[in-house]
Amino acid sequence: MMTWETQQHFLKPDHRFLLFVFSATLFTYFFHALVNTIYSASSERHAWNNRNKKWVAELFVFSGLLTAYAWWPYRQHIWPLLGAGIATFLYSAPNLPIEPFRSMRKIAIGKTIYLAAVWTYVTAFLPMMINPVEMNVSFWYFALHRFFLVFAICILFDRRDVVDDSSKGVRTLATMTNEKVLRIAFITCLFLSFIMAALFSPGRIISYLQIPILITYFLYPAKEKDWSDLFYFLVLDGLMMLSACLLAIAVIFF
């Protein structure tokens, strides 16, 4: 949905490329799940993956084959796509208990900034790079809005995973700072995302891009809450693509 949103604003819809991003996302997810089965379960989702390694491995292979099929028409754009593939691999690589990947856990930016940057690259920059289309000022406002929103949501995930990441030696914003600094970073990211969205849609009091920002702001709990995996992977992940869903409704019905 997030890639489709970029196409809707700046490009012609390309359903084959949407299939590629979708299948590659699943491929990356199942690779990450397989890597994490090395460790003891730290959540309901992690426990399910550990119990169902065979299913995870089969889905990993299937999504990989689907990714290769969807990638074929874009094979001439090897460097932008290869960059995305390497970047997504490096996100999961620190969980591998071997060198040199174990040493990568000490990288200061950890998951927080890195994941936000990779997800913005894949869903905003990559569609533009394979066409190619000029990245004008309006696009940069849009891309920065997305980066800061995803960054803020990643902070909520890192806050949840702080104990697990600390035990693995993975350095994230949550493991490196205290609660006060983390909240300031969270609010700052949402403020910058709000400003970028306003610059992208001048003249509107509240645009559809700003609605997920306002919702996300109220999801930072005053104290730690025992939210389920369902909350994180439906509500928080859903907020990343909420603006795309709202745009789709507008395109279909208006």
Give the model's pLDDT for residue 234.
82
Tell me whether residue 36 is in a domain. Answer: no
Judge whether 250 and 208 are in contact, CB under 8 Å.
yes
Judge whether 168 and 105 are in contact, CB under 8 Å.
yes
List the Cα angle 200/204/205 in 5-degree steps: 120
Give the model's pLDDT for residue 54.
86
Say what angle helices 2-10 and 137-160 make with each other, to 10 degrees: 170
Give the model's pLDDT for residue 101.
65
Number of domains the chain is built from = 1
Domain around 156: 2-9+77-253
Tell me whether residue 144 is in a domain. Answer: yes
Tell me whether residue 175 is in a domain. Answer: yes
Tell me whether residue 148 is in a domain. Answer: yes
Give the model's pLDDT for residue 38.
58
Tokens describing residue 78: 């090897």
Residues of the chain falling short of pLDDT 70: 37-46, 48-49, 94-95, 97-99, 101-111, 168, 221-229
Q: How far is CA 165 from the centre of its chain?
A: 18
What does 98-121 look like in DSSP terms, one character per residue?
Answer: STTTGGGGG-TTHHHHHHHHHHHI
> Among 172, 212, 159, which Cα is nearest to 190's?
212
Tell me whether residue 19 is in a domain. Answer: no
Return the amino acid letter for 36: N
Tell me whether residue 66 is in a domain. Answer: no
Give the model's pLDDT for residue 88.
82
